[in-house]
Amino acid sequence: MTIADSTPSFDPRPTPPADAPNVVVIVLDDLGFGQLGCFGSDIATPNIDALAAGGLRYNRFHVTALCSPTRAALLTGRNHHSVGMGFLTDVPIGFPGYDGRIPKSAATMPRVLKDNGYSTFAVGKWHLIPRWEQTAAGPFDQWPLGLGFERYYGFLAGDANQWTPELVQDNTFVEPPATPEEGYHLTEDLVDRSRRLILDSKHARPAKPFFLYFAPGAMHAPHQAPQEWIDRYSGHFDMGWDAWRDELFAKQVAEGVVPADTTLTERPPWVTAWDSLSADEQQLFARQMEVYAGFLSHTDDQIGRLLSVLDEIGERDNTIVMLISDNGTSAEGGPIGTHNEHRFTHDRLDDFDDSLARIDELGGFRAYNHYAWGWAWAGNTPLRLWKRFTWLGGTRTPLVVSWPGRISSDASGGVRDQFCHAIDLMPTLLDAIGIAAPATVDGVAQQPIHGATLVPSFEDPTVGDPRDTQYFEMLGSRAIFHQGWKATTDHVGRQLSIEQELVGSSADFGSAQFETDHWALFNLAEDFSESTDLSREHPEVLARLRDRWWVEAGRHDVLPLDDSLVGRAVALEPNPNPIAWKTRYLPGAGPINEDALPGMGGGIVIHASIEAEAGSSGIVAALGDWHNGWALYLLDGVPVVTFNLFGTAFSAQAATPMSGGSHQLSVRYRRAGGGVPGGPVTVEVDGLAVAEARLTDDLPFRWQIGGAGMRIGHDSGFPVCDDYATPFPFEGTIAEVVFEQPMFAPRDRDADARTDVSQALRRE
């Protein structure tokens, strides 16, 4: 047989439906129900407002009350516990609803779209990788490229420094393309990359539709924006959160964002009345909100720049754009806000006088700031509470949908009031495109899609809710919507010490015990803001909803309940590749993620084998920055180690320079223990102590949330202290940097014992 006698055949390629629309899903972070202009705010968001004016606003859209769970629900169309994301993916524990991994039985929206001929891009925050899998060693199946996206550029963690983020391109850690001093800002970079991905795809295959998942770090703390955007709001919030909230609510009612009969929930006792604050407190808190507003307006401007590419390629009419927030506003700044969010991470409150003295740094290079929780309360107007709680303030956020080619001009600008949820976005998009959810993917039978399509509501505002039941659970806070009613617990999880202190006080913050939780009952058909508890009037309805919550909890892997952060850390999934008591790192690698490094809190020894001429300078090893971090370096031949703890630098510096040649430079930190914070630090040269210092606080269990990993031979981003400016390259040769955890050293020093990092956390 020859080719003349043969008929060629080719495997079919994935082909999208005819005229398939492009899709852009924008996920903002920690944005409240009332903070966009099109939802009543006076903060300028003209580009998002234009989307709403040409599309639809959904005022009863709901999420899970936390970032990782909402993102998993959105991308899979399934409830968050059913896909292992009952809490943050950073803290995987050994129960199906909380293992932090999207299972193969829940193929994601990008995977389904890719299999149907779409280009798929993710840009921005990911936060869907279990803790031990976020390093350069992978595995990469929970990274964006492992879950259906073909290209990725962004950051993996829960937040990022807008000036100096730890970035990943596809599966590789990379440096930002410019420095803060050169004008770098993360949101602008993410928009640049998004536009490039869209243009590259359309230039190569103009008819191929794309799916872009765009998730900037905004509006999560740190609130950081170019100064000119912040200064636009100078004096704007001097009226305070009470008066601003009243004005916001009046505008929401006037514009039909909330029903005319909505009750504005009262200010809770744990939010101080603005008029009761001192002049200094009002000055600081008003500036915090000016910074937030500038950050939001800057973000909106960049969203406008992103969407302008649709006009440039002539695809605006045939592109579906959806914009949401992953949860309500964040109160993690506490009652007075914070100059440095790393303090919140380690449950430390700010000193007011220090914050006031540094007010001019807010939003800039020297601050990792968050606003006071009075602004979080006001930003969720007219709702109660905030992120992490299943009250509407945590779970009800804006949804804007734009599709000029399908949503008629008569419908445009309308408000839809269907009770809907993040799980509805995937089935809505599949329905709009004309793709059926697959029964199997890669031979794995798929879980049912829990969401339902919202497409009928695009033209018919009277269509019913997509479902009559939706459960909620986050850190022990529980709620359920069923047939127009909502039952909500007053449970307060064990996360913020300041919230725990309010439990049982005159502030009546809520219950800290599952056994004493009160279930409140609301008729959401008549009570938009969850303001009037009807549990006494309708005990039979409450009993029915409580029973239904337990049914849904069992169905979706919600159990066992856990309201503790510390408890989860102790029960953390063991590292499958535990870090040895002694680890070795070499120059020439990219940034080393913290999860590839040993914990330092219980004590650490660092040895660096170096060779340098007399008087040399430069970084030997460094991690973090002047918000939280450490660095070992030479200054004109003088060895120095600096630990910057939440913005306060402690240095041990030798009195004289080292001689030229080869040396072993060592740092020893021993935790004091016995309830005494901190401990002694010693710097050694060739085994002889040359400098000592005393830390007055413990080393943190994690130095950075979304900042720089460890560098060897140079630093990046902001420095750890003012002794040097980055990159401060080492003027010599570094052979190796070795870490030792003495508390885990085996008795037989030649044994190759390995120890789980979670054990270090327990000992800390």
- The catalytic site residues sit at 67, 127
Determine what percent of the chain falls in helix, strand and coil, rounding each to the nearest 5: 25, 25, 50
Which pair of tokens denotes residue 345? 């991470």
d(CA 757, CA 596): 10
Q: CA-CA distance, 117 to 115, in Å (whole number)?
A: 6
Token readout for 5 is: 């006698």
Looking only at the bridges linking them, the beta strands covering 420-421 and 414-416 are unpaired
Q: Can you give the C-alpha Rg of the chain in angstroms?
A: 27
CA distance 4 to 174: 52
Q: Give the pair of three-digit tokens for residue 695.
A: 């830390």
Strands (E), 139-234: 151-155, 167-169, 172-174, 210-215
Please tell me the distance from the alpha carbon of residue 319 to that of residue 21, in angstroms, as a whole number: 5
Instruction: Say how many Å lie between the first and final Cα of the chain, rounded.
Output: 74
Half-sphere exposure of 92 (CA within 13 A, CB side): 21
Q: Which of 25, 26, 20 shows the shortest CA–CA distance to 205? A: 20
Helix 279-312 and helix 186-204, axial crossing angle in degrees, nearest 10:
10
Burial of 469 (0-12, 13-18, 19+ CB in 10 A): middle
Contacts of 139 (CB under 8 A, 6+ apart): 133, 146
> Which parts of 207-250 are beta strand (E)?
210-215
Structure tokens at 753: 């014992």
Query: In 151-215, where do the E strands start and end?
Result: 151-155, 167-169, 172-174, 210-215
Among residues 37, 93, 102, the alpha carbon closest in space to that of 75 is found at: 102
Residues 6+ apart with CB under 8 A from 351: none
What is the DSSP-derived secondary structure letter of residue 83? G
Q: Which residues contact 71 (CB under 8 A, 6 or more apart)?
A: 27, 85, 127, 128, 215, 326
How many angstroms separate the CA atoms of 602 and 607, rounded? 17
Residue 427 three-state SS: helix
Please give the structure tokens belonging to residue 66.
Answer: 């936390």
Identify the helix (H) or strand (E) that includes residue 667: strand 661-669
d(CA 426, CA 401) in angstroms, rounded, equals 13
Angle at 192 between CA 189 and CA 198, to 5 degrees: 140
Name the residue among 86, 59, 56 with its Cα closest to residue 70.
86
The closest alpha carbon to 331, from 384, 400, 279, belongs to 384
